[in-house]
Structure 1
Amino acid sequence: MMKEILLNAFDMNCIVHQSPGLWRHPRDRARDYRRLDYWLELARTLERGRFDALFIADVLGVYDVYRGDASEALRGAVQVPVNDPLPLVAAMATVTEHLGFGLTASLSFEHPYPFARRLSTLDHLTDGRVGWNIVTSYLESGARNLGQRQQLDHDQRYDLAEEYLEVCYKLWEGSWEAAAVLREAAANRYADPARVHPIDHRGRYFEVPGIHLCEPSPQRTPVLFQAGASSRGTAFAARHAECVFAAAPSKTVLRKVVEGLRHQAEIAGRAPDALKIFNLHTVIVDDSDALARARHREYLDYVDLDGALTLISGWTGLDMAGFDPRQPLAHVHTNAIQSAVEAFSSADPGRVWTPEEVARWVGIGGYGPLSVGSPESVADELEAWVEETGVDGFNLAYAVTPETFEAVVDLLVPELTRRGRYKSEYRSGSLRQKLFGAGDRLAAPHPGAGYRFETKRERLEVAR
């Protein structure tokens, strides 16, 4: 049986997400990001295309590494201005029935107690269609603006993340028993106080003694996304994530990522297929290969190379303005640059990678690969990526919005469906049920399931 391909749309509540400069294209509507009708129309389009989710990126900070300040980011609208993604989700849920929503939120800058309530509220309002992309943040500007002199170091951020998840699991899974909500109007009893429990958390970073303020939502814990690429991030994802977002530019790199994640999941006591892995990908599709190539050439005229270098500098922490734009990066001896060059070299071994060439690659769709062609050609490519790497699906970035997503829905989705590679209809139920078909709730051996009050009570009874 052929593996079904999963698709998320990758977007951000801003003007420029992964394709700097393309907001200037006459058909691009990203400048309408402040208008609710823009997002409602996008949600309807994605549901018409049976997308699994809209994955909404976010940063709490600005890209100010390039040339030492935020000037280029502001000039080119490179992920700034950027609005809060959370209010969009409730609104888009009102015009859709099945589309999931992956919400990016950093655990470095918000206490878990109010955050857990916010996610439970969204899970209620969407009937269980919410996911949380867990990030620890990487922009120093965000830390400074929240009163921190600098970010915690890399491993400390993951130590904090482990405890943050523990607090959230206790609130979502352990505070309210399944039978706590009674709704007995005649007896004037909405909830049974004996079945609602303070979590009494006292840890290194947080103290949370009380109960969760929300009654259990359809999923309790939202579907957990994660995108860490370091060894510590991979181990964290293998332990906690249900969906993992990768950004590998080549099949060689992606295959190693997929194999590494599935191996780490086994080490964590989970099944290798407990993880759904999505790779960043951009698709430019038209009725024929020639038309798609012409569309690609048209898009290239709008790429902002300084905007791309602004993104790369923020992602790597290295000011790309300090390098000769035409000097081969293979000669630049820093870990961040060398690892990036190795990844790009596997995608196009004969190419000499200079800052300018990397910027041209990133200019449409970011670090991920780009497929250009007819529906048949692009479907062939996506099938090859799935077969050769073991990836489950793709986070599709856009070049021009909503044009890129409309073309995928109208041209590519029918071709993938015809081949039996894409669902012909949505599965009923929550986002977790749609993705995994195993119910709405976290299930053992996921660590979050172990915090469920009923599970803890069973352990006590066994111990006795």
Structure 2
Amino acid sequence: MASPGEKKQIFLNAFDMSTIGHLSPGQWKNPVDKSATKRKLEYWIELAKLLDRGGFNALFLADTYGGYDTYEGSLDNCIRRAAQWPVTDPTIPITAMAAVTKNLSFAITASTSFEPPFLLAKRFSTLDHFTGGRFGWNIVTSWKKAAFKAIGLENPIEHDERYRQADEYLKVLYKLWEGSWADDAISPDPENDSYADPDKIRTINHKGKYFSLNTRHIVDPSPQRTPFLFQAGTSAAGSEFAATHAEAIFVSSHSPAILRPKITKIRELAAAKGRDPQSLKFFATYTPIIGRTDEEARAKYAELQKYTSVVGGLVLVSGWTGIDLSKIPLDQEVSAADSLEAHKVRSILDAFTTTSEDIPQWTPRVIAQKASIGGLGHIAVGSPQTVADDMERWVREGDLDGFNIGYVTTPGTFEEVVELLIPELRRRGVYPEPAEEGERLTARERVYGKGQSGLRDDHVGATYKYDRYQEDPPYVEDEAVKEGEK
């Protein structure tokens, strides 16, 4: 937390996805947009170099595990409009990007629903090693029916149950990352033909409700041990999970006034768990369209609107909310009652029951307009000074710590932020200065300060550190539950 008289620093992450139409579907038609080249490694290498040179905190990569088939009850328009389709794996380009950058961190989305925790632990320890500790994980629990069908399951796990499962998943990971290896387990002793001491590598014997394993972690401790932990979701179950596990929380709304009570609630929940509530960092979706003047920015915005895919936007929002917007008259108000799908993003659905001065009523027409650029997040159009003023207002009114910068065109939006916005924020003293020559910080140090590569002591994962580790007792099913199932 900024001390009295010190300005709060704003963190900016670039928000991208290994897909053609991320949050502004249709812009692939725009001659200046390079979204259609994301299947080439060169795209990711050049983007990473731009972001690193320009001073971005991290590249935050979304992901999805199935197409959006709520709109018209079909996947056809998702495919036709390239609305987050096709999607490649965000994990693969990370090491190539790390090799050409020095300070940029990388956060990728991965689900707790689709693979055993041991496999994820191995892959993420490897990525933390290969990035020099510049790696973070956006924890998601997955809700899409299409995704579950793709791996052979007919229906997604119920919303709150997914979070209970994810809670145990994280505990297993902490055991592997924090509790399996002593810091000095690797102690090369050529004379005795010994590289590592097996007595200093603990076998994790976890017997839980959802997961069981008996193993040592197969990867030695990486620079951070546990990757920097992001999470998105502000439902009751999501907020509880975030207050327990997340170091950074990704939120989205058209108004900071709507975000503030949700952020306050999560900070209060974290404090009740013994955590410093200010150690949780909140990032809002934010799509800037920047010109050297307000007039130039407005002209850019008008040009961008020529390429929007209205149907593509409706496909995405229908999928997120479980509301088939093709069935609702264009000017009829949308409500939560229209969502007939049990599995959806509750925090986005909640947005449609919350209005503001900017949006007094949500209708398919308003949704189409908002979703086609910026994916329902906030859009700021103006000069660097106008956008910086707006960002400072959002930080102040929403109690935010930074933003996930959505692009309209790539790399165009990110170039505007690097060339025009970040210099303006630095002039105001609200954006971190470039790292000193030769200084290499981990993802966690970039946020918490030099020396804090590992989990903070007030984080639940710290209770599983090697020197204080105690194995949890095996899970025993409640007798009342057993009786109820008979």
TM-score w.r.t. structure 2 length? 0.91
Name the residue aligned to 2:90. 85
Whether the 8 Å CA contact 1:14–1:83 is kept in 2: the answer is: yes
Name the residue aligned to 2:172. 167
* Superposition deviation, residue 330 in structure 1: 5.6
Unaligned runs of 5+ in 1: 458-464
Q: Structure 1 residue aligned with 2:352, among 333, 341, 349?
A: 341
* Superposition deviation, residue 179 in structure 1: 1.3
Name the residue aligned to 1:432. 444
Q: Structure 2 residue aligned with 1:399, among 408, 423, 428?
A: 408
* Superposition deviation, residue 352 in structure 1: 4.0
Deviations 1:295-332 (A, max 9, x none): 00111111111100100011001211111122232696
Whether the 8 Å CA contact 1:332–1:338 is kept in 2: the answer is: no
Name the residue aligned to 1:460. none
Whether the 8 Å CA contact 1:325–1:356 is kept in 2: the answer is: yes
* Superposition deviation, residue 27 in structure 1: 0.2
Q: What SS is found at the alignment partner of 1:395?
A: strand
Distance 1:53 1:200 in 2: 35
Distance 1:363 1:194 in 2: 57
Q: Structure 2 residue aligned with 1:204, among 202, 209, 215?
A: 209
Name the residue aligned to 1:462. none
Distance 2:211 2:337 in 1: 41
Distance 2:447 2:313 in 1: 33
Distance 2:383 2:429 in 1: 18
Name the residue aligned to 2:42. 37
Q: What SS is found at the alignment partner of 2:195?
A: strand
* Superposition deviation, residue 162 in structure 1: 0.9
Whether the 8 Å CA contact 2:336–2:352 is kept in 1: the answer is: no
Q: How does 1:308-347 map to 2 (within 5 A)?
A: 308-329=313-334, 339-343=350-354, 345-346=355-356
Q: Structure 1 residue aligned with 2:457, among 440, 444, 448?
A: 444
Deviations 1:338-394 (A, max 9, x none): 732343x21515x44310211111111112100000011111100111112210000
Name the residue aligned to 1:455. 468
Distance 1:442 1:352 in 2: 43
Name the residue aligned to 1:385. 394
Deviations 1:224-282 (A, max 9, x none): 00001211100100100001000121011111122112111112211111101100000
Higher alpha-carbon deviation: 424-433 or 191-200: 424-433
Unaligned runs of 5+ in 2: 1-5, 341-345, 471-486
* Aligned amino acid, residue 436 of structure 1: Y
Q: What SS is found at the alignment partner of 1:423?
A: coil
Q: Aligned in 2, Cα 1:48/1:82: closer, same or farther, shift over 3 Å?
A: same
* Aligned amino acid, residue 373 of structure 2: I
* Aligned amino acid, residue 18 of structure 1: L
* Aligned amino acid, residue 379 of structure 2: L
* Aligned amino acid, residue 428 of structure 2: R
Whether the 8 Å CA contact 1:305–1:356 is kept in 2: the answer is: no
* Aligned amino acid, residue 235 of structure 2: S
Distance 1:247 1:386 in 2: 13
Q: What SS is found at the alignment partner of 1:226?
A: strand
CA RMSD of aligned residues (A): 1.8
* Aligned amino acid, residue 429 of structure 1: L
Whether the 8 Å CA contact 2:321–2:349 is kept in 1: the answer is: no
Deviations 1:79-129 (A, max 9, x none): 110000001111100000110001100110011111100000000000000
Name the residue aligned to 1:122. 127
Pairs aligned (count)? 457
Whether the 8 Å CA contact 1:132–1:223 is kept in 2: the answer is: yes
Name the residue aligned to 2:473. none
Distance 2:398 2:413 in 1: 25
Q: Aligned in 2, Cα 1:208/1:9: closer, same or farther, shift over 3 Å?
A: same
Distance 1:78 1:112 in 2: 30
* Aligned amino acid, residue 439 of structure 1: Q
Q: Does 1:264 align with 2:277?
A: no
TM-score w.r.t. structure 1 length? 0.95
* Superposition deviation, residue 334 in structure 1: 5.3
* Aligned amino acid, residue 384 of structure 2: P
Deviations 1:177-236 (A, max 9, x none): 111111233332111010011101111111110110000000000000000121110010
Whether the 8 Å CA contact 2:249–2:283 is kept in 1: the answer is: yes
* Aligned amino acid, residue 297 of structure 1: A
Q: What SS is found at the alignment partner of 1:197?
A: coil
Higher alpha-carbon deviation: 329-338 or 367-376: 329-338
Q: Aligned in 2, Cα 1:89/1:27: closer, same or farther, shift over 3 Å?
A: same
* Aligned amino acid, residue 233 of structure 2: G
Name the residue aligned to 2:367. 358
Q: Aligned in 2, Cα 1:332/1:206: closer, same or farther, shift over 3 Å?
A: closer
Name the residue aligned to 1:288. 293
Identity in percent: 45
* Superposition deviation, residue 428 in structure 1: 3.7
Q: What SS is found at the alignment partner of 1:183?
A: strand
Distance 2:306 2:16 in 1: 22
Name the residue aligned to 2:343. none
Whether the 8 Å CA contact 2:336–2:353 is kept in 1: the answer is: no
